[in-house]
Amino acid sequence: MTRKVLLVDDDAAVREALGQTLELADLDVTTCGSFVAAKDHITAGFGGVIVSDIRMPGRDGFHLLGYAREQDPELPVILLTGEGDIPMAVKAMGQGAFDFLEKPCAGADLLAVLERALKTRALVLENRRLKQQLESGDPAARLLFGVSPQAEALRARVRSVAPTGAEVLVTGAPGSGISKVAEVVHLMSPVGQGPFLKRPSASLGPQDFDQLCQDAAGGSLFLDEVSALSEPVQFAVLERLEQGPDARVIAGTTADLNELVERGAFNAELFYRLDVMRIRIPSLAERREDIPVIFRHYVAQAAEQAGIEVPDVGSDHLATLMAQDWPGNARSLMSAAMRFVLGMPEEIGQAAELGLAEQMAQVERSLLIAALGRQNGRAAAAAQALRVPRKTFYDKLARYGIRPEDYRR
């Protein structure tokens, strides 16, 4: 969640005192002494909250509020008011101020209002980001969620594989989204405007594949769990691929096809023909920092389906989710989101079997990886972003076996 605060007050002593209070609360504070000085910081993409005094020389807090709302009507502005300015502050609330506090205000009171405003701002920005993805012409950005280096590498792989038109093998753990990745490959391919047929491999007979290729002509045919193809169907598929199918073939599997080939349980020639381009989907346990983004998406989706308002997801709940391994991956996370929206008690699962120290360690490891990903593997910059001394940061990397070079793009 964003933690930025723009503090505007012409009184230098007040700026310094409040600024120190906010910094001690782990907030990223920028201080300004006037509207003119603050103006350049106020943009539609500002990732935080504005706190401003009402009475200032020149352009006052009302001018600042008006300017902020011109840039972004949803940018929270908290006004600080003197004893005689309360009617003015109430008027400002009617003009769109988030809240107001009477000076001198207690640090705890200001922090309480700020926490509400910051959560509101974070939710607004996240909703905008998701909407932008949905409206984007890039299906990989629109449909494959995540902020981790692994998620970005997955999207990059899909973008490079999709235009080739070659056969694709998509692998991953159960529930990791194999069919979704296959669909994105189709949408970004030269035949993306054609049909996308999805069929479970276990149900196919020897004659079915020819008919499916004809039905999917000019599009893509996705064979779900290709490891379940019977031996006669494997030969039929291989023969059809060698002739040149009418549709692009995308295969998906949760099994280790290399092992099946070694055991003679899967046709080696078919395997090599399908494995022209491979896309591996990382599990949620490998990219825990993506869990909050994916969970919030599923919560919004579930709330829309249920016809109710999207509930707020607290940081404590997200930390609990990040501490789990999610062997069911996105599918089980989607179920958890539905239970959350419906107010059903959550089954903590594996996290309940871990002690507090183990859960905190998992969360800490995820935060370290996320910071490295955002800083392109630059450890010094990641340490600074997390406000951790460099030695401490490197000690933690060594403890968790994290290598910064793995997160350089």
CATH number of the CATH domain containing 60:
3.40.50.2300
Write down the pTM of the prediction: 0.57
pLDDT of 384 > 90? The answer is no
Torsion of CA 375, 381, 385, 388, to 10 degrees: 130
Q: Could you tell me if 246 and 373 lie in one domain?
A: no
End-to-end CA distance of the chain: 24
Largest CA distance in the chain: 87
Q: Could you tell me if 180 and 314 lie in one domain?
A: no
Alpha-carbon distance values, 134 to 1, 140, 231 (Å): 21, 10, 41
Distance separating alpha carbons of residues 397 and 202, to the nearest angstrom: 45
Q: Could you tell me if 244 and 319 lie in one domain?
A: no
Tens digit of pLDDT for each residue in 163-211? Answer: 998 999 999 999 999 999 999 999 999 999 899 999 999 989 888 888 8
Tens digit of pLDDT for each residue in 343-357? Answer: 775 554 444 445 556
pLDDT of 328 > 60? The answer is yes
Q: Could you tell me if 189 and 303 lie in one domain?
A: no
What pLDDT shows up at residue 389? 85
pLDDT of 261 > 90? The answer is yes
Q: Could you tell me if 196 and 269 lie in one domain?
A: yes
Confidence band for 409, pLDDT divided at 50, 70 and 90: low
Q: Could you tell me if 381 and 294 lie in one domain?
A: yes
Distance separating alpha carbons of residues 299 and 341, to the nearest angstrom: 6
CATH number of the CATH domain containing 322:
1.10.8.60
Q: Which residues contact 250 (CB under 8 A, 6 or more apart)?
A: 167, 168, 170, 182, 185, 186, 220, 221, 222, 223
What pLDDT shows up at residue 85? 65
What pLDDT shows up at residue 228? 94
Task: Name the helix (H) or strand (E) containing 248.
Answer: strand 248-253
Alpha-carbon distance values, 321 to 281, 284, 340, 363 (Å): 20, 11, 12, 9
Domains held by the chain: number: 3
What pLDDT shows up at residue 64? 92
For residue 24, the one-letter residue type is L
CATH number of the CATH domain containing 182:
3.40.50.300
> Sign of dihedral through CA atoms 324, 328, 329, 333?
negative
pLDDT average, residue stretch 391-401: 85
Q: Could you tell me if 146 and 267 lie in one domain?
A: yes
pLDDT average, residue stretch 225-238: 94
Q: Could you tell me if 297 and 210 lie in one domain?
A: no
Distance separating alpha carbons of residues 51 and 6, to the nearest angstrom: 6
Domain boundary among 86, 105, 133: 133
Domain boundary among 234, 267, 282: 282
Distance separating alpha carbons of residues 142 and 304, to the nearest angstrom: 18
pLDDT of 86 > 80? The answer is no
What pLDDT shows up at residue 187? 92
Domain boundary among 254, 282, 310: 282
Q: Could you tell me if 265 and 316 lie in one domain?
A: no
Distance separating alpha carbons of residues 325 and 288, to the nearest angstrom: 8
Q: Could you tell me if 276 and 179 lie in one domain?
A: yes
What pLDDT shows up at residue 352? 43
Q: Could you tell me if 121 and 150 lie in one domain?
A: no
pLDDT of 295 > 90? The answer is yes
Query: Residue 358 is part of which domain span?
Result: 285-407
Mean pLDDT for the chain overall: 86
Alpha-carbon distance values, 393 to 130, 165, 387, 408 (Å): 32, 44, 9, 17
pLDDT of 50 > 50? The answer is yes
Q: Could you tell me if 182 and 207 lie in one domain?
A: yes
What pLDDT shows up at residue 304? 84
Q: Which residues contact 3 (CB under 8 A, 6 or more apart)?
A: 26, 27, 28, 48, 118
pLDDT of 378 > 70? The answer is yes
pLDDT of 129 > 50? The answer is yes
pLDDT average, residue stretch 245-266: 94
> Between 274 and 340, whose confidence is greater?
274
Distance separating alpha carbons of residues 88 and 266, to the nearest angstrom: 77
**What values do phi and psi take at 323, rounded to 5?**
-80, -10
